[in-house]
Structure 1
Amino acid sequence: MSPILVPAALESKLMKPIVLLTTLLLGTTVAHAQDQQAEDGQAQHSAPVAEIREAAVVFLDGLSPELRKQASFSMDDKERRAWSNLPSTSFKREGVSFKEMSAEQKKLAHRLLQSTLSSQGYLKTTGIMHLDELLKAMAAERRPNRTPMFGHDMYWIGMFGDPAKDKSWGWQLDGHHLALNITVVGDEVSVRPAFMGSDPAELPSGTYSGWYVQRSEDEKGRMLFESLDEKQRAKAVIADVAPRDVVTGPTRGDQLKTPTGLPASELTAKQQRLLKSLISEYAHNYEHNIAHIQMDRIMAAGLEKIHFAWAGTETGKPYYYRIHGPTVIIEFDNHYPPGRNAGPVNHIHTVFREPGNDYGEDLLKKHLMESPHHQHER
C-alpha cells in the first residue's frame, strides 16, 4: 500500500497540538521532579530528634536507679565540657561506664550511638573502642601486673538534662581517644566538639594487621596537600615541623582565632572538591540528615573563607593539617606513639569543632531568646 502523503501545511497544523501536549506533560513532570527534589532536600535537613530522644529515654529507663542517677547531670554541670583523649588512669570520667552495664544495657547504649551516628561514624567509634581493647591486651603482655588503663569497658556515657521532657538536653560518650558531645535544642542538634583518635593508627601485625580506622581522614588530607603547586604550598605550610598534638584539644577550644594557611578561594575547582570531600568525611560521621545540616552550615559561611594549613614537610616524619573557617575547625595530627620521638608515624588525633556553637552554645542562646518561659531570665 502506498503511503498517505500529508501536505506540509496540514502536517504542521496536526503536529502543533501534539507538541503543545508533550511540552505541557514534560513541564509538569519536570516541575513535579523539582518539587520532589525540594521536598527531599527539606527532608534531608530535618534532624532525627525524635529518634535520638527515644533512644536516650530507653537507655536511661534500662538502667538501675543507681546507675541512672550516676549517668544523669544537669545541662549546666561542668561535666558536660569535661572530656579528654587520655586514658582513664590519667583523666577521671563521670557517668556510667560500659564496664558497669549489663549486656542488655550495652545494647541500649549502642542504639543511642546509632541514633546519632552514620554507619561510618558508628564503625569508627566502635573501631576506636575495639582498638583500645587491643591496646589493653598489648599492655598486659608487657606489664601483666599493672592496673588496666585501656579497654572497651573504659568508656563512659553521661546524660545532660532529661530527654523525656526537656527541650534542651544532650549526651556524651567519653573515653581514651574518643569524645562525642551531642546537644539537642528543640528540633536542632549540635554534634561538636568531637575528638577521634587511634593508636596504632594502622595495625602493623597480628590478626587485625592492616586495620586502619581513620584511613580516609589521613589519605584525603594528604591527597589535598599533594595536589598543591609550589605557590600554593608556600601559603599552606605554616611550619616545617608538625605540632605534637591538635591545638584545640580538651579545654582548648578557643585557642585558634584567625584562620591561617591557604584560602580555599585560591584552590582550583578540583582542589575545592577535594577540600569539600575532606570536610564531608568528618561531617558524615553523623546521621545522614545531621551531616547535611553540618555541611550546609559550613558552606553557607563561605567556602572562600575557609583556609587549609599544613605542618610537617619531611618525609616519614609527623604531619598535621587544619581546616579553619567561620563555622568549622578540623585538625588532624599523625605523630609518633606516646613516649617516642622516632620510628613509625602511627598515632592519630583529630578534632571537629564549630566556633561559636560548640556544645550547641549558639542554639542554646537562640532558645533562651525565643522561649517565652525564659523571658523573665533576661
Structure 2
Amino acid sequence: MSDHIHRGFRPRNLDLPILDGTLHADLLPPAVAQEVSAALRNHRDPYVGVTTDGTPIGGLYHLEDTGLSHRKVLDAASAYLETLEQHQLLSARLPMDSPEWRLWTNAFPVWTHQGLRLDRVEPRQRDAALALVEASLSPDGYAAVRNAMKLNGALGELVQRYSDSLGEYTYHFTLFGEPSADTPWGWQLAGHHVDLHCVFVGSQLVLAPVFLGAEPTRAGDHGPYAGVSAFERETDGGLAMRRSLTGAQEERFLLGDSLRTADLPPELAGPNGRHVSGAGQDNLVLKPEGISGKELTRDQRRQLLELADVYINRLPEGHAEHKRRRFLDHLDDTTFAWRGGHDDTSAFYYRVHSPVLLIEYDNHAGIFLDNDEAERFHVHTITREPNGNDYGKDLLAQHYARFHG
C-alpha cells in the first residue's frame, strides 16, 4: 500500500471484538456499545421517518405509473432464486413487512444477520445476487457499490487481521417479498460500509436508505485491488459547491471551519463523526441547517443540483430523472450546510437537506488506520428519503390502501 494514499498513516495495533463479521458489544466500552447497537434497539419502533419536527410532510411522494419496466430486474431476481436450495430460502427471503428491513449497520452487527452471506454461498449464487443488484442500479451506482466492497477487501489485506469480517464479499443479501411486477418487493445488501435498501412498488423504485463508505478510499498499487478507488465525485462535488459560496454567505451555511477533535462539540467528535442519519436513526428529527436554495445564485443552484446528481444518479436512468424532478420541485426549500476546510487536504462534512432527499458526507478519523483526526481517505455517505419514504414506506402505504384497503 503506497504511503501517499494515507499520508503516512498505518494500521492501528488494536484488538477489536469482531469475530466472523459480528461485533461483540458486551466487550466494548458502554458508550461505544450504545452507538453500535442503535439499530437493534430501534428497528421495531413504529416508523415515522426523518422529519424536521416529528411529523412527516404529506403529499411529497405519489403512487404512479412511471412507464418504466422492471423486466430486467425481475429476470435477475428469478435467476437468483433458481440458484438457491430450499433450506437457503429460510434466510434468503423474508416477508415484505418484516422489521428486518430496518436492521442494518455500517459497522458490524451485534446480532445474527438475516440473509445469505455472499462469501459463504457458491460463486454462482453470489454472482446471481450481485447481478440482481446490478440490474437494479445505474452503471455508476453499481460501480460505487462494488468499489466500496472491494475497498473493504483491500482494508482486510492492509490490516492483515479480521479476514473473516473484512472482505470483498462479507455482505448479507436478503430478498423481501415475492419479486413481481404487481406486488411490492425489494432487497437489502448489508455489511461494513455498504448498506442498500431497494424497493419496487409497481413501476416505481425507491433506493433508500443507502450508506456507502470506505477506509481507505483508494487501494494500493499492488495486489488484487490495485488502483480501486471511490468517492471522488462525492468529494469533488462537495468541494465545488462549497467553493461556489462566498464569504458573505458563510454565516448562513458554515457550521464550523474545522473537523479537528479539539474544535468540535463533544457530540460530534465520537465514533459516528458528524453524520446523524445513519443506522438506527429512521425516526430522526433533524431541523434544516444551512443556506437555502432560494438564497443561492443561479450558478450556485446549478452547482447544488450537480452535487445532488452524484447521489441521484445511482438510480437507473429513468428513475434518476424522476427523482431529479422531485428534487428540483423543492430546491427553494433545500438547505446546504458545511463543516471543515475546503482546501486540497482538509477533512470536511456536508449535508444537503431537501424535503425529498437527505444527503450526508463525512470524513472520519481512523478505525483500522491510526489517524486520530478525520482525513479525506475515510469517507461515509448516507442518502435517505425524508418525510416517511425510506424503505419505500410512503409508497407502500399508498399501494396497500389503494389495492388492499
TM-score range, shorter chain: 0.7 to 0.9
Provide the rounded CA distance (Å) in 2 between the counterparts of 1:165 and 1:218.
Answer: 37
Residue pair 2:151, 2:229 contacting (<8 A) in 1 also? no
In structure 1, the residue matched to 2:96 is 75
Which residue identity lines up with residue 193 of structure 1 in the other structure? Answer: P
Deviations 1:170-196 (A, max 9, x none): 111111101110111122111111111
Q: Which moved more, 1:129-138 or 1:254-263?
A: 254-263
Q: 2:209 aligns with which of 193, 197, 203?
A: 193
Which residue identity lines up with residue 74 of structure 2 in the other structure? Answer: R
Q: 1:362 aligns with which of 387, 394, 403?
A: 394
Residue pair 1:333, 1:348 contacting (<8 A) in 2 also? yes
Q: Which has the higher helix share?
A: 1
User: Partner of 1:345: helix, strand, or coil?
Assistant: strand
User: Partner of 1:100: helix, strand, or coil?
Assistant: coil
Deviations 1:143-185 (A, max 9, x none): 4xx5632102211110111114861111111111011101111
In structure 2, the residue matched to 1:16 is none
Aligned residue runs from structure 1 range 275-286, under 5 A: 275-286=304-315
- Taking CA–CA contacts closer than 8 Å with sequence separation of 6 or more, which of the two structures ends up with the larger relative contact order? 2
Aligned residue runs from structure 1 range 1-378, under 5 A: 45-87=66-108, 92-140=112-160, 143=161, 148-164=164-180, 167-203=183-219, 206=222, 211-242=228-259, 243=268, 244-300=273-329, 302-313=330-341, 316-338=345-367, 340-342=371-373, 344-355=375-386, 356-371=388-403, 374-375=404-405
Q: Which moved more, 1:205-214 or 1:173-182?
A: 205-214
Residue pair 2:66, 2:204 contacting (<8 A) in 1 also? no
Deviations 1:235-280 (A, max 9, x none): 1112344441411001113324321100111211111111111101
Measured after TM superposition, the shift of residue 223 of structure 1 is 0.9
Deviations 1:203-227 (A, max 9, x none): 4654666643110000010111011
Provide the rounded CA distance (Å) in 2 between the counterparts of 1:260 and 1:327.
Answer: 15
Provide the rounded CA distance (Å) in 2 between the counterparts of 1:245 and 1:113.
Answer: 29
Measured after TM superposition, the shift of residue 343 of structure 1 is 7.3
Residue pair 1:330, 1:353 contacting (<8 A) in 2 also? yes
Measured after TM superposition, the shift of residue 290 of structure 1 is 1.6
Residue pair 1:245, 1:349 contacting (<8 A) in 2 also? no
Provide the rounded CA distance (Å) in 1 between the counterparts of 2:147 and 2:116.
Answer: 20
TM-score (ref. length: structure 1): 0.80
Deviations 1:301-336 (A, max 9, x none): x21111000012486543100000111100000122
Provide the rounded CA distance (Å) in 2 between the counterparts of 1:329 and 1:234.
Answer: 21
Residue pair 1:57, 1:164 contacting (<8 A) in 2 also? no
Provide the rounded CA distance (Å) in 1 between the counterparts of 2:88 and 2:274.
Answer: 34
User: Partner of 1:148: helix, strand, or coil?
Assistant: coil
Provide the rounded CA distance (Å) in 1 between the counterparts of 2:99 and 2:75.
Answer: 25
- CA distance 1:260–1:245, shift in 2 (3 Å): closer
Which residue identity lines up with residue 394 of structure 2 in the other structure? Answer: D
- What 5-or-longer segments of structure 2 have no aligned partner? 1-64, 260-267
TM-score (ref. length: structure 2): 0.75
Residue pair 2:151, 2:218 contacting (<8 A) in 1 also? no
- What 5-or-longer segments of structure 1 have no aligned partner? 1-43
Seq. identity, % = 30
Deviations 1:278-304 (A, max 9, x none): 10110111211121122122222x211
Provide the rounded CA distance (Å) in 2 between the counterparts of 1:53 and 1:364.
Answer: 18
Which has the larger Rg? 1
